[in-house]
């Protein structure tokens, strides 16, 4: 049990009705999980408004209701605040006894690279003996427990719950992906991170249910550098001045085309069979050779950020080198063995910037053909479809257009938008709506020296259709296809 007054210490609030001298069992923001003597927070969501459930919360004997507007209650104490999401963040921190203050906290923001950088950091720290928790797009790692993730940045209550569980499992460090939506919804409000990292920024997440425009997107990203002690930023990114506007932290830099604190020189692609990596010489504050086991210039940037972060810990550079050589990230240019003749990789690239980056990277390895299989998610910006079609047509030798997460749209309509973008190029393409059949086609028709990229799904193990998530893991699809092809040949 927690005292209500202890949870309100950092908040401006008004006691609308009832007594603040209440004790609560838990903080609840989902009306389906209401319980007696809980504190219910009325959250205004994109689908429904939590204030609609205030009466139900009172009838089910919630001890406290926190709201933005007056709600009648016979049993519960009603507390009014300006923003319930902000209030929930601060109350959750207090409820779990401020666990973030007891961890070394690292938050990574940017359009792309958050996940890869986070896993590189965790790999280096764990390789050196620092027990490190992780919160990201793929999963939450608390120590021995691994929890599938729903959002890059969880709701504030879950965030502090994870922090507490990390501490309980002996974690010393926490590294997390900090999304623009997370900042917009105050999920990290009240946390002062030890290290805040900016990877890069490009137009993305603009549209209904996300950000109104680029200005809002940038404004949300820059919030990190007003709530961290030290910022580590990509000096090569053109948006950096906007990101750092009004920053209150010390700044360190990394980059390639600049005189950064941590910079990569003599960058070389490394290719050995189906191994595709990259090596470089690190200069600046640290001088050492680096080889990373994932391909691409973008992973040079990610590794630079990871090294800069880990320099704030007592780490032998040899340990850093070892960790980067063996890091692998699910769904991030992840190799899957299908043939001795050609290579296949799975990647989460689901916008034009990410797709262009990974295709240009893989083309640098000079495959006989670069084949790209992708679709686009429904109920998202149509511009993304046109752009991705044009990008694939420009960089891939063959594009196989298929279905991704159609959500509440018809897959055929989404595919037609992609085709519209493709037709701006001379790129060869074909349409196979069923994703498994699209992958089967590529495997069956793979040529010696080909590199096949399955883009868009990455770590996801489902396909969302009309509000239902059906199991669909591309690794499972590939295994099934290989088994079926082998049985057909028998």
Same-domain status, 78 and 109: no
Same-domain status, 152 and 297: yes
Whether pTM > 0.75 for this model: the answer is yes
Taking the alpha carbons at both ends of the chain, their separation in whole angstroms is 65
Range of the domain at 431: 334-489
Instruction: Tell whether 90 is covered by a domain.
Output: no
Same-domain status, 455 and 314: no
Instruction: Tell whether 91 is covered by a domain.
Output: no
pLDDT tens digits in sequence order for the chain, 490 residues long: 999 999 999 999 999 999 999 999 999 999 999 999 999 999 998 789 999 999 999 999 999 999 999 999 999 999 999 999 999 999 999 999 999 999 999 999 998 889 999 999 999 999 999 999 999 989 999 988 999 887 778 999 999 999 999 999 999 999 999 998 889 899 999 999 999 999 999 865 555 566 556 888 899 899 999 999 999 999 999 999 999 999 999 999 999 987 999 999 999 999 877 788 999 999 999 999 999 988 988 899 999 999 999 999 989 999 999 999 988 888 999 999 999 899 999 999 999 988 998 999 999 999 999 999 999 999 998 999 999 999 999 999 999 999 999 999 999 999 999 999 999 999 999 999 999 999 999 999 999 999 999 999 999 999 999 999 999 999 999 999 999 999 998 7
Q: What is the CATH number of the domain that holds 78?
A: 3.40.1390.10
pLDDT score recorded for residue 274: 77
Same-domain status, 105 and 29: no
Instruction: Tell whether 385 is covered by a domain.
Output: yes
pLDDT score recorded for residue 207: 55
Same-domain status, 423 and 292: no
Q: What is the CATH number of the domain that holds 429?
A: 3.90.190.20
Same-domain status, 129 and 250: yes
Same-domain status, 113 and 36: no
Instruction: Tell whether 54 is covered by a domain.
Output: yes
Last residue of a domain, one of 283, 299, 325: 325
Contact at 8 Å (CB) between 308 and 232? yes
Same-domain status, 302 and 196: yes
Same-domain status, 108 and 252: yes
Domain count, the chain: 3
Distances in Å between the Cα of 1 and the Cα atoms of 75, 89, 396 are: 18, 18, 59
Last residue of a domain, one of 56, 84, 112: 84
Q: What is the CATH number of the domain that holds 177?
A: 3.40.1190.10
């Amino acid at each position: 049990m927690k005292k209500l007054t202890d949870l309100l210490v950092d908040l401006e609030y008004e006691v609308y009705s009832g007594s603040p001298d209440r004790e609560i069992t838990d903080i609840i923001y989902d009306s389906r999980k209401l319980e007696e003597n809980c504190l219910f927070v009325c959250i205004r969501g994109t689908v429904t408004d939590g204030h609609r459930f205030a009466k139900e919360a009172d009838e089910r004997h919630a001890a406290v209701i926190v709201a933005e507007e007056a709600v009648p209650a016979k049993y519960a104490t009603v507390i009014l605040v300006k923003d319930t999401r902000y209030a929930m963040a601060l109350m959750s921190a207090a409820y779990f006894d401020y666990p973030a203050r007891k961890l070394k906290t690292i938050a990574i923001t940017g359009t792309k690279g958050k996940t890869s950088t986070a896993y590189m950091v965790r790999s280096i720290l764990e390789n050196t003996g620092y027990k490190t928790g992780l919160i990201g797009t793929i999963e939450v790692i608390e120590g021995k427990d691994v929890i599938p993730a729903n959002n890059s940045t969880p709701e504030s209550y879950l965030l502090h719950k994870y922090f507490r569980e990390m501490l309980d499992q002996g974690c010393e460090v926490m590294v997390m992906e900090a999304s623009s939506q997370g900042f917009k919804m105050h999920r990290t409000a009240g946390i002062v991170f030890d290290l805040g990292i900016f990877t890069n920024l490009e137009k993305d997440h603009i549209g209904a249910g996300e950000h109104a425009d680029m200005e809002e997107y940038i404004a949300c990203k820059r919030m990190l550098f007003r709530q961290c002690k030290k910022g580590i930023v990509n000096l090569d990114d053109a948006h950096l001045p906007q990101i750092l506007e009004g920053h209150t932290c010390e700044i360190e830099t990394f980059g390639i085309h600049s005189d950064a604190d941590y910079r990569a020189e003599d960058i070389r692609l490394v290719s050995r069979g189906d191994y595709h990596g990259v090596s470089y010489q690190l200069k600046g504050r640290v001088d050492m050779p680096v080889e990373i086991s994932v391909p691409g210039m973008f992973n040079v940037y990610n590794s630079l950020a990871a090294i800069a972060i880990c320099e704030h810990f007592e780490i032998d550079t040899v340990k850093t080198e070892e960790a980067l050589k063996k890091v692998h990230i699910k769904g991030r240019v992840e190799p899957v063995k299908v043939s001795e003749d050609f290579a296949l990789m799975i990647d989460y690239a689901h916008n034009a910037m990410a797709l262009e980056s990974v295709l240009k990277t893989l083309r640098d390895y000079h495959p006989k053909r670069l084949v790209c299989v992708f679709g686009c998610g429904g109920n998202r910006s149509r511009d993304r479809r046109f752009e991705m079609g044009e990008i694939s047509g420009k960089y891939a030798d063959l594009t196989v257009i298929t279905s991704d997460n159609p959500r509440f749209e018809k897959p055929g309509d989404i595919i037609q938008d992609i085709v519209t973008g493709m037709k701006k190029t001379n790129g060869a393409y074909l349409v196979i709506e069923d994703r498994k059949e699209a992958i089967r086609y590529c495997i069956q028709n793979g040529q010696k020296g080909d590199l096949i990229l399955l883009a868009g799904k990455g770590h996801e193990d489902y396909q969302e259709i009309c509000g239902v998530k059906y199991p669909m893991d591309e690794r499972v699809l590939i295994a099934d296809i290989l088994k079926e092809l082998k049985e057909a040949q028998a």
